[in-house]
Amino acid sequence: MTQVSQHKDPLLRIVKRDAISRPKAYTIRLLAVLLSLVVSGAFIFAVTHLDPIRVYEAIFDGAFGTSRRSWVTIRDAMILLCIGVGLAPAFKMKFWNIGAEGQILIGGVITAGIMRAYGSALPTPALLVVMAAVSLLCGCLWGVIPAVFKAYWNTNETLFTLMMNYVAIQLTSYCVALWENPVGSNTVGVINQMTGYGWFPALFGQNYGLNVVLVLALTAGMYIYLKHSKQGYEISVVGDSQNTARYAGINVKKVTIRTMAISGAICGLAGFIEVAGVSHTISTDTAGGRGFTAIIVAWLAHFNTLVMILISFLLVFLQKGAVQIASQFNLNDYASNIITGIILFFILGSEFFINYRVILRGRKEADGK
Amino acid sequence: MEQTFAIQMKDITKRFGKVVANDHVSLDIKRGEILSLLGENGSGKTTLMNMLAGIYFPDEGQILVNGVPVTIASPKDAFDCGIGMVHQHFKLVDVFTAAENIILGLDSRQKLDLKAVAAKIEDICGRYGFVIDPYKKVYNMSVSEKQTVEIVKVLYRGADILILDEPTAVLTPQETDRLFAVMRNMKADGKAMVIITHKLHEVMDVSDRVAVLRKGQYIGDVATADTDPQKLTDMMVGHAVTLNIERPLVETRNLRLEVEDLTVLTPDGIKALDSVSFQAFGGEILGIAGISGSGQKELLEAIAGLQPTQPGSHVIYHPPAPDEPIAGQHVPVDRGGEELLGKTPRQIHDIGVSMAFVPEDRLGMGLVGTMGMADNMMLKTYRSGKGPLLDRKPPRQLAEKVKQELDVLTPSINTPVRRLSGGNVQKVLVGREIAQEPSVLMTAYAVRGLDINTSYTIYNLLTAEKLKGVAVIYAGEDLDVLLELCDRILVLCGGQVSGILDARTATKEEVGLLMTKFKKEGAQA
Amino acid sequence: MSDLVVRLLQSSVCFGTVIMYGAIGEILTERAGNLNLGVPGIMYLGGISGLAASFFYESSTADPNGLVCLVISLLAAFLASALGGLLYSFLTITLRANQNVTGLTLTIFGGGIANFFGGSLTSLAGGVGQISVAATSAVYRTTIPGLSGLGIVGKLFFNYGFMVYLAIVLAIVMHWFLNRTRRGLDLRAVGEDPATADAAGINVARNKYLATCIGAGISGLGGLYYTMDYIKGTWANDGTIESLGWLAVALVIFATWRSINAIWGSYLFGFLFWVYLIIPGLARKDIELFKMLPYLVTIAVLVITSLRKKREDQPPASLGLAYFREER
C-alpha cells in the first residue's frame, strides 16, 4: 500500500506576529526607506555615472536648494497631503476609492470655470468661497455616485471609481477645448493672468501660505474626525466588520455614502486648491497621477493623517530631487516616478516583516510572544 | 493474517495551545462496517477525524492504514491513503458544475473531457444509488445535492475509507434516509465508513459499531446491536457532575418577554425556527439547550432584531414596573407590551434588550477586532452624549472596571482585542453587555473555551443579574451547567421547541432525549 | 462604403488590438484572483522594452534583419512585462502586500521607466533627436501580401500587421485554456475559492504566480503593438499608453472576464473611441466627449451585471484578496 514520505516541516515557515513594538515597526520601515534610497541611488548612478553622494546632494538641492524650491516642495507636498487626507476616511472604511484623480479634476474644472466666468463679477474672497463650495459639491457628487451603487447593489467600487476618473478626464479635455486660450494651443493658459482674480492671495508674504494653512487645517480636522468623532468611530466599525456594524445598530449604507461624500468632497477641494492656489489653469494633467500616489500615501500611513504629512514630504522631496538630477543631466523628469515606484515597493514589502515572522526550519519559535 | 482493519489510530494526542482536544485516543476502523463516532459538541470527534484527513497533524501517536504506518500531512496524503472526508462546511466552487468540482486538482496533464468524467460519475452514482446531475452548477443545488457532490468527489478520487462529519445536520428526514441507504450500499461494497454525529437515533439506525468520545477522551466502543439510546447517552454525557453553582430563587418573577409563533427562514428557505413560542421572566435564567444548529443563534438574533422573521411571528416585551431597580434607564415603551419585531437593533437595544452572542469565530460579530477594549466598550453607546465627538471617558472607565472585575489579560485597554486570547475576548463581550444594565440579557455560548474559574465568574455575573430582576436567557452547550445554573430549560430541536423543563427537577437524560426528539419522529414518518 | 467608414473601422481594429492584449493578459491574471492594477505600467514596460531592444539592435548593425528585429523586440517586451508581473506577484503573493496598492505602484513605476527611457534613450546612447526603429516597425506593419489588396474586404480584414491576428488567436487560445483544460479549471478554482482549491491539492501560489507573470507578458504585448505599429516605431511621452491601459482594465469588466468577449469588445471600444470620425461637423471639444463613451459603457456594464446578479458574469469571487492557509 501507499507509504507516504516522512512528514517534514517546510523550509520556511511564516507565522503571524502577535504584536510588534512601535519602535521596532518604525525601524523596519526606516530600513526599507534607506534600502530603497540605496537602490534608487544605484539606479541614478547607472544612468548618470554621478557620484552617489553627489546624487543625494543634488536631490537635496533640487528640493530645498533655494527658498523658491523649498516653497515648491512644500506646495506640492500640501496638495498630495490634501488628497491623502481626502482618501483616508474611504480607505479606513475599506472602500477602495481609486477615483481621487477624477474627483480632483472635477473640482479643478469647476473652479477654473467659475474663475473664468465670474472673475470680474465678484470680489476675490467671495469668489474663493464660491469656488471652494462648488468644487466640494462636485467632488462629493463624483464620490457619491459609486458609493450609492456599492451600498445598494454591491457594485465593485474599485472598478467604478476607476472609470469615473476617465469620465472626468474627458470632461476636462472638453472644457480645455472649450476654453482654449490662445486658440489652437490646446491649453487654457493662465486664467486671469493680468488681474489675478480668483487667485489665492499671498499669506504671511508667501504665495502658498494659504495652501499650507488650508491643508494643515484639513489634516488636523480629519485626524480628529477619524479618531475622536462618532462618525469616525462608525467608519472604523464598518471597515472592520459589516456584521459587527449591523449588530451595533449602525446603518452601513448610510455610513458608506456619507463617508464617500466626504472623501470625494475633500478630493474636489484639492482640485480647487491646485487650480486657484497653484497652477491657475486647468488641464488633464492637473491631477497628474497624484490621485493614485495619494492612495499609497494614505495606505502607508495607516490612515493616520499626521503620519501622512511625513510621507507626502518624503515623496515630494524625492520627486523634486529627481527632477533636479534629470534637468542637470538633460534627462526627463520621469526619473522621479521611477524613484517613487522603487521607494513604494520597498515600503510595501516591508509591511510583511512587520506583520509576520519567518521561521527557518529547525529553529524553534524562540522569540515567540 | 487476514487484514480487517482499514485504519488503526494509536495513542493519538492533539493539543491546541493549552486545550487538549484529543487525549491518547486509540480507535480502529474496520472494512465493511459503518462506525459511529459519538460525542457532545467539543468532545474532539472532528479533530480526531481531521487528523486522518490531513487537516491537522497529531502531536503524538501513530496512524496505520491497512496495517502500514503512514504520515498524513496534507489532504493529498490522505487521498493517497484512500481516505476521504466530507466536511460539515462544503468545499465546492459555487460557479462550477458538479463534474468540474469533482475533478478539481486531478491529473492536470490530462485532457478535460467532461463527458468521460460525467460517465464515470454516473457509474459511481449507479453503483451506490446516488442521484446527481454532473452538469448542474453548485449554486443551483440544494444542501443535500451539494453533500452528494462532496461524497462523489471523494469516491471519484478512489477513497475506500469515508468519513462523514455530521452529514445529517443539514438534511431533511427524507434526505437522511436516502443518505443512509447509500451508506449501506457502500458498506456492502466493502468500504469503511465513519459517521460523526451526536444524534442517537441515527447511530442506532445506520451504524454497526459505536465509539464514544467525551471531553477529548476515548470512552469505549460497543456493537450497536448490544446497546440502546439510554446506555449511549450515559456513555456520551457521563454521570451528572455536581458543579455547585449557586442558584437562588427569586420570588417575584414578572413576565418580561413573550415569544409567539416565531418563524425564521435560512437564506436557503429552510425553517431555522418553526413557530417557537415561550415566555421569559425577570428574575430567572432561562436556559436554551439543543444540539448545535438547532436554531439557538436565529432565536437570539431574531429577538435582537438581527434576523428577518416570517409574518405571524411576535416578540412582545413587557417593561419592568417603575418600582423595580432595573427600570427607568431605558427608552420607555408601552406598559401593556411592546412588539419588538420590526424595530431596528438599535431601538431594541435602547429599550433594554441586550445580547452577548459569542459566535464561533468570536470576533465576527459583537467586537471590533482592530480596536482596543476601551473603544469596544462603546460599540452600542458611542452615540450618547451631545455633540459630534466621542466621549471616551466612560468607556475607558468601564474597560478598566471589566478588566479588573473579570480579570481580563491584556497589556492595555487599548490593545486590539483580536490579539487577546479567546477567553479574554469573551470576558470583554459579556462584561460589556452586563454593563448596559439591560432588562433582558441574552448570552450564547458565553463560557465556550473558558477555563473553570472564569466560567464561574460568568455564572455568578449572570446570577447577579437575575437577582436584580433581569430576564436572563442563556444558550449553552454543557448540560451539567444548564441544569445547575438555570431556573427553566427550553429545549430546541430542529428549530422547534421540544420541551420546557424545570431545571431544578429535570435530569440530564430527559434533556438529552428532548434534544433529539423530532428528528427521530420525522425519520419514522 | 465610404473611405471615412473604412478608416473608422480600421482605426477601431488597431485601437482595439492594443487594449485586447492588455485585457487578455489581465483576464488570465484576474481569473487567478489577482486584481493587477499595474496593467498600464506593464504595457508601458512592454512598449519601451520592445522599442529599446530593437533600437539597440538597429543601431548596432547597418542592415537590420527583419526576423531578428521581430524576435528581439517580442522577447524583450514579453520578458520585461513578465518581470513586472513577477514583481507584483512577489509583493502580493509572497509578501502579501495589498493588491490594489501594489498594482498602482507598478503603474507609476512602469510609466516612469518607460517615459524616462523613451525620452532619454537617444541621448543616453549618445545620439540626438527622436527615437525611431524604422526597420522593426516595418516588419510589424507588413500586411498580408495579396489579400490586403482585395478592395474593401482586403482593406477591412487583411490590411493589418500580424499582431492584430495574433491577438485574436491568443484570445481564442486563452478561452480554450480556461474553459477546456484541466489546468484552466484549476486556475479558475484558485480565483474563485482558493481554500477549496487548496484542499483539492492545487498549488495556489504557483497558479497565481504563473497566471500573473504570463498574463503580464501578454498585457505587455499591447504596449509593444502600440509603439511598433500604432505609432510606427517611435515614442511619445503623452500618457496614451496609460489611458489605454486603464481602458484594458475596463475591457476586462466589459468582457465579463471572458477572453472571447474581449475580441469584439475591444473593437467596439475602438469604434466608440473613433466614431466621431464619421460624424460631420464636430468641433474638437465635442470629440473629447465622444471619447468618454467606452468608459460610460463600461460603467453601464458594471452596474447592469451587479443588478442582474447573474453568477457567471460576476468577478472571480476571491478577486483582490490575498490567500494564506489559516494556521492554528
Extents of the domains making up chain C: 3-313
Q: Residue B283 CB: number of other CB atoms within 10 A?
A: 22
pLDDT category at C270 given cuts 50, 70, 90 is very high
Q: What is the pLDDT of residue A256?
A: 95
- Report how far residue A233's alpha carbon sits from residue A137's, in angstroms, rounded to the nearest whole number: 24
- Interface with C, mutate which of B57, B90, B94, B95 (most C CBs under 10 A): B95
Cβ–Cβ below 8 Å for C202 and B105: yes
Asked whether residue B233 falls in the same domain as residue B119, the answer is yes
SS (H, E, C) B379-435: CCCCCCCCCCECCCHHHHHHHHHHHHHCCCCCCCCCCCHHHCCHHHHHHHHHHHHHH
Here the CATH number for the domain that contains residue B339 is 3.40.50.300
| Interchain CB contacts (distance < 8 Å): B and C | 67
CA distance A109 to chain B (A): 33
Say if residue C160's pLDDT is above 60. yes
Chain C nearest-CA residue for B55:
C199
CA distance A331 to chain C (A): 6
Q: What is the pLDDT of residue A8?
A: 47
- Report how far residue B122's alpha carbon sits from residue A132's, in angstroms, rounded to the nearest whole number: 69
Cβ–Cβ below 8 Å for B95 and C199: no
In this complex, the residue of A15, A156, A352 whose CB is nearest that of residue C97 is A352
Q: Which residues of chain B are within 8 Å of residue A234 when distances are taken between CB atoms?
A: 382
In this complex, the residue of C105, C253, C285 whose CB is nearest that of residue A348 is C105
- Interface with A, mutate which of C35, C109, C113, C131 (most A CBs under 10 A): C109
* Chains contacting chain C through 3 or more C-beta pairs under 8 A: A, B
Chain A nearest-CA residue for B344:
A249
In this complex, the residue of C108, C296, C303 whose CB is nearest that of residue A292 is C108
Range of the domain at A229: 78-307
Q: What is the pLDDT of residue A322?
A: 78
Say if residue B22's pLDDT is above 80. yes
Q: Which three cell numbers stand for residue B327?
A: 427600570
Q: What percent of chain B has pLDDT over 70?
A: 90
Amino acid at B402: V
What does the mean pLDDT of chain C come to?
87
Cβ–Cβ below 8 Å for C185 and B75: no
Asked whether residue B264 falls in the same domain as residue B176, the answer is no
Q: What is the pLDDT of residue C1?
A: 53
Q: Which residues of chain C are within 8 Å of residue B74 when distances are taken between CB atoms?
A: 201
Chain A nearest-CA residue for C114:
A334
Say if residue B114's pLDDT is above 50. yes
Cβ–Cβ below 8 Å for C246 and A162: yes
CA distance B374 to chain A (A): 12
Q: Which three cell numbers stand for residue A198?
A: 480668483
- Report how far residue B163's alpha carbon sits from residue B165's, in angstroms, rounded to the nearest whole number: 6
Quick one: DSSP state of residue C256? T
Cβ–Cβ below 8 Å for B96 and C181: no
HSE-up of residue B517 (Cα within 13 Å, Cβ side): 18
Beta-carbon contacts of C155 under 8 Å, excluding residues fewer than 6 positions away, are C6, C10, C148
Cβ–Cβ below 8 Å for A230 and B379: no
**Rounded mean pLDDT, C223-230:** 91
Q: Which residues of chain C are within 8 Å of residue A336 when distances are taken between CB atoms?
A: 112
Dump pLDDT digits (tens) for B63-82.
999 888 998 888 888 888 89
- Domain-embedded: residue A240: yes
Q: Which residues of B touch C (CB under 8 A)?
A: 16, 56, 74-76, 79, 91-96, 100, 103-112, 137, 139
CA distance A249 to chain C (A): 26
- Domain-embedded: residue A332: no
**Rounded mean pLDDT, A143-172:** 91
- Domain-embedded: residue B360: no
Q: How many domains does chain B have?
A: 3
Q: Which residues of chain B are within 8 Å of residue A230 when distances are taken between CB atoms?
A: 382-383, 388-390
- Domain-embedded: residue A299: yes
Q: What percent of chain A has pLDDT over 90?
A: 35
Quick one: DSSP state of residue B307? S
Q: Which residues of chain C are within 8 Å of residue B91 when distances are taken between CB atoms?
A: 193, 195-196, 199-200
Q: Which residues of chain A are within 8 Å of residue C107 when distances are taken between CB atoms?
A: 292
Q: Which residues of chain A are within 8 Å of residue B419 when distances are taken between CB atoms?
A: 18-19
Cβ–Cβ below 8 Å for A339 and C298: no
Cβ–Cβ below 8 Å for C181 and B56: no
Say if residue C102's pLDDT is above 80. yes
Asked whether residue B423 falls in the same domain as residue B443, the answer is no
What CATH class does C3-313 carry? mainly alpha
Q: What is the pLDDT of residue B409?
A: 79
In this complex, the residue of A2, A18, A241 whose CB is nearest that of residue B368 is A241
Range of the domain at B400: 372-435
pLDDT category at B175 given cuts 50, 70, 90 is confident
Element at B213 (helix H, strand E): strand B209-214
- Looking at B104-113, B466-475, C174-183, which range is the least confident one? B104-113
Strand partners, B194: B35, B163
Q: What is the pLDDT of residue B58?
A: 87
Q: How many domains does chain A have?
A: 1
Cβ–Cβ below 8 Å for C311 and B139: yes
Dump pLDDT digits (tens) for A27-76.
888 898 889 888 888 887 787 777 777 777 877 888 888 888 888 889 99
Backbone conformation region of residue C96, classed left if phi is above 0, alpha if psi is from -120 to 50, else beta: left
pTM: 0.84
Say if residue B270's pLDDT is above 90. no
Q: What is the pLDDT of residue C172?
A: 96
Amino acid at A326: A
Pure H helices in B273-383? 296-303, 345-351, 373-377
Chain A nearest-CA residue for B57:
A7
- Report how far residue A187's alpha carbon sits from residue A283's, in angstroms, rounded to the nearest whole number: 7
Q: Which three cell numbers stand for residue C67?
A: 526576423
Q: Are C222 and C18 in contact (CB under 8 A)?
A: yes
- Looking at A267-271, B230-234, C158-162, which range is the least confident one? B230-234
Q: Which of C267, C212, C218 has its CA nearest to residue C99?
A: C212
Q: Which residues of chain A are within 8 Å of residue B68 when distances are taken between CB atoms?
A: 1, 3
Cβ–Cβ below 8 Å for A340 and C108: yes
Cβ–Cβ below 8 Å for A331 and C116: yes
Cβ–Cβ below 8 Å for C104 and A292: yes
In this complex, the residue of A229, A234, A244 whose CB is nearest that of residue B367 is A244
In this complex, the residue of A16, A296, A330 whose CB is nearest that of residue C101 is A296
CA R_g for chain C:
20
Between the CA of residue A118 and those of A124, A138, C82, what are the distances in Å? 10, 18, 52
Cβ–Cβ below 8 Å for B368 and A247: no
pLDDT category at B525 given cuts 50, 70, 90 is very low
- Report how far residue A324's alpha carbon sits from residue A328's, in angstroms, rounded to the nearest whole number: 6
Q: Which residues of chain B are within 8 Å of residue C314 when distances are taken between CB atoms?
A: 95
Residue C238: helix, strand or coil by DSSP?
coil
Length of chain A: 369
- Report how far residue B374's alpha carbon sits from residue B358's, in angstroms, rounded to the nearest whole number: 19
Burial of B140 (0-12, 13-18, 19+ CB in 10 A): exposed
Backbone conformation region of residue C151, classed left if phi is above 0, alpha if psi is from -120 to 50, else beta: left
Q: Which residues of chain C are within 8 Å of residue B110 when distances are taken between CB atoms?
A: 182
In this complex, the residue of C182, C189, C202 whose CB is nearest that of residue B112 is C182
Q: Could you tell me which residue, A357 or A218, shows the higher pLDDT?
A: A218
Burial of B480 (0-12, 13-18, 19+ CB in 10 A): middle
Amino acid at A257: I
Q: Residue A67 CB: number of other CB atoms within 10 A?
A: 9
Say if residue B452's pLDDT is above 70. no
Of B179, B209, B237, at which residue does a domain stop? B237
Q: Which of B293, B294, B317 has its CA nearest to residue B304?
A: B317
- Report how far residue A348's alpha carbon sits from residue C273's, in angstroms, rounded to the nearest whole number: 36
Q: In what order do the strands lie in the sheet with B192-197?
A: B83-86, B161-165, B192-197, B34-38, B209-214, B217-223
> Which residues 306-325 of B have a C-beta within 8 angstroms of A?
306
Positive or negative: CA dihedral C291, C297, C300, C302: negative
Asked whether residue B111 falls in the same domain as residue B197, the answer is yes
CA distance B287 to chain C (A): 32
What does the mean pLDDT of chain A come to?
84
Q: Which residues of chain A are within 8 Å of residue C324 when distances are taken between CB atoms?
A: 14
Element at A228 (helix H, strand E): helix A209-228
Residue B145: helix, strand or coil by DSSP?
helix
DSSP assignment of A29-88 equals HHHHHHHHHHHHHHHHHHHH---HHHHHHHHHHHHHSSHHHHHHHHHHHHHHHHHHHHHH
- Domain-embedded: residue A153: yes
Chain B nearest-CA residue for C177:
B112
Q: Are A161 and A171 in contact (CB under 8 A)?
A: no
Q: Which residues of chain B are within 8 Å of residue C317 when distances are taken between CB atoms?
A: 94-95
Length of chain B: 525
Q: Which residues of chain A are within 8 Å of residue B371 when distances are taken between CB atoms?
A: 236, 240
Q: What is the pLDDT of residue B2?
A: 47
Q: What is the pLDDT of residue B524?
A: 35
Cβ–Cβ below 8 Å for C199 and B94: no
Q: Which residues of chain B are within 8 Å of residue A247 when distances are taken between CB atoms?
A: 304, 306, 345, 365-366, 379
In this complex, the residue of C109, C288, C292 whose CB is nearest that of residue A341 is C109
